[in-house]
Amino acid sequence: MTQMNYTDNVIRVAIIANGKYQSKRVASKLFAVFRDDPDFYLTKKKPDVVISIGGDGMLLSAFHMYENELDSVRFVGIHTGHLGFYTDYRDFEIDKLIENLREDKGDKVSYPILKIVLTLENGRIIKARALNEATIKRIEKTMVADVYINNVRFESFRGDGMSISTPTGSTAYNKSLGGAILHPTIEALQLTEISSLNNLVFRTVGSSLIIPKEEMIEIVPQRTGIYTVSVDNKTYNLKNVVKAQYYIDSEKIHFVSTPSHTSFWERVQDAFIGELDS
Ligand code: NAD
């Protein structure tokens, strides 16, 4: 756990909520409290703390709204459903959140994010950041691509596509694809196949790969056509992707450190296992 430095004692707070009735209700309550409190300043511009109200999807949207200010922003997630992976508070714990923010000293918990660099045939370069994962797929026909790990040609992939996930994204799409769950303090990327073709002629490794932070993943499509590229909750159709490179970003996402923070494994158990028989 490390600390953010404030230049004054006022915390600049942005509140972002999804359209659900319960989220709007929570947002109204927080607005009312912070508006009359001299320790807080409500603003969407250059906030110190971004409070996202909704679920993991809402936190992903909040991340992308402030992805160019990651060095100065900390996030807090409030879940208006059951406990999420990026949400430390439930909607009935708002008083606890307000109390914790009043006593806040700038403590933060930080997790790695993904940097994506796409090169198109026309020379255009597209850069993006992902909190969960990025995928690349060829929808119209089988995707054929060379996969390089740290500039070493590792395999020739045939199938629907590939996913590259962050540690915190490992419990999302990556898990549905059969990838491993990675503790978010492990700074690594996970490369997971999407429906690879494996027979006597074509061969891929078949397991998801955990790639350390110093190494880069490069996917080089071998056929022209439209590639469907996703970055978290956004999808783009791009013509003739020449190469797609994936790194751990030099920035991280920072969350406000919460005294009652639920452990990662408890969240995994809560989301995927549920109550155990006694
Ligand atoms: P969405 O509405 O389709 O919801 C996807 C589900 O994933 C929600 O239940 C959400 O709470 C959950 N989720 C999001 N991030 C998570 C995380 N890090 N760990 C565990 N669960 C998580 O879309 P959304 O809410 O905008 O979320 C976008 C995400 O959906 C993508 O980043 C991708 O990971 C995931 N997704 C999953 C599949 C799949 O599992 N087959 C397919 C497409 C996208």
Q: What is the pLDDT of residues 105-124, one digit of tens each?
A: 999 999 999 999 999 999 99
Output phi, psi for 193, to 5 deg: -75, 150
Q: Which two tokens stand for residue 188?
A: 């690594």
CA-closest residue to ligand 1 atom 25? 57
Q: Which of 8, 39, 48, 56 is catalytic?
A: 56
Dist CA 85 CA 270 (whole Å): 10
Q: Which amino acid is at 148?
A: Y
| Nearest atom within ligand 1 for CA of residue 132 | 32
* Helix, strand, coil content of the chain in percent (nearest 5): 20, 40, 40
Dist CA 57 CA 71 (whole Å): 22
* Domain span(s) for CATH 2.60.200.30 in the chain: 112-251
Pocket flag, ligand 1, residue 155 (CB < 6 Å) = no
CA-closest residue to ligand 1 atom 2? 57
Mean pLDDT of the chain: 94
User: Does 8 have pLDDT greater than 80?
Assistant: no
56 flagged as catalytic: yes
Instruction: Give the residue among 4, 187, 181, 209 at the shortest CA–CA distance from 113.
Output: 187
- Is residue 174 a known part of a binding site? yes
Mean pLDDT across 27-45 = 95
Task: Find the DSSP H helices in 41-172.
Answer: 56-65, 94-102
Q: SS3 of 176, please?
A: helix
Pocket flag, ligand 1, residue 84 (CB < 6 Å) = yes
Cβ–Cβ under 8 Å, residues 101 and 109: no
Q: Residue 276 — pLDDT band, cuts 50, 70, 90?
A: confident
Vertex 136: Cα angle to 133 and 141 (nearest 5): 150
Q: Taking the complete model, does pTM exceed 0.85, yes or no?
A: yes
Cβ–Cβ under 8 Å, residues 228 and 194: no
Q: What separation in Å is there between the alpha carbon of 61 and the centre of ligand 1?
A: 12
Cβ–Cβ under 8 Å, residues 1 and 257: yes
Q: Which fold, 11-107+257-273?
A: Rossmann fold (3.40.50)
- Is residue 278 a known part of a binding site? no
| Percentage of the chain exceeding pLDDT 90 | 87
Dist CA 162 CA 195 (whole Å): 9
Dist CA 250 CA 135 (whole Å): 20
Pocket perturbation via mutation, ligand 1, pick of 58, 233, 266 by most ligand atoms within 8 A of CB: 233
User: Does 161 have pLDDT greater than 70?
Assistant: yes
| Nearest atom within ligand 1 for CA of residue 133 | 32
Provide the β-strand partners of residue 244: 118, 219
Q: Was domain 112-251 assigned CATH 2.60.200.30?
A: yes
Pocket perturbation via mutation, ligand 1, pick of 114, 132, 162, 165 by most ligand atoms within 8 A of CB: 132
Q: SS3 of 65, please?
A: helix
Q: What is the largest CA-CA distance in the chain?
A: 70
- DSSP strand E in 142-206: where? 143-149, 152-165, 188-196
Pocket flag, ligand 1, residue 85 (CB < 6 Å) = yes
Q: Residue 3 — pLDDT band, cuts 50, 70, 90?
A: very low
The DSSP H or E segment spanning 43 is: none
- Is residue 173 a known part of a binding site? yes
Instruction: Give the residue among 50, 56, 52 at the shortest CA–CA distance from 270.
Output: 56
User: Does 219 have pLDDT greater than 90?
Assistant: yes
pLDDT at 260: 72
Provide the β-strand partners of residue 217: 149, 246
Instruction: Give the residue among 157, 177, 153 at the shortest CA–CA distance from 165.
Output: 177
Q: What separation in Å is there between the alpha carbon of 34 and the centre of ligand 1?
A: 31
The DSSP H or E segment spanning 239 is: strand 234-239
* Domain span(s) for CATH 3.40.50.10330 in the chain: 11-107+257-273
List C-alpha distances in Å: 165 to 2, 108, 114, 148, 154: 25, 22, 7, 16, 18
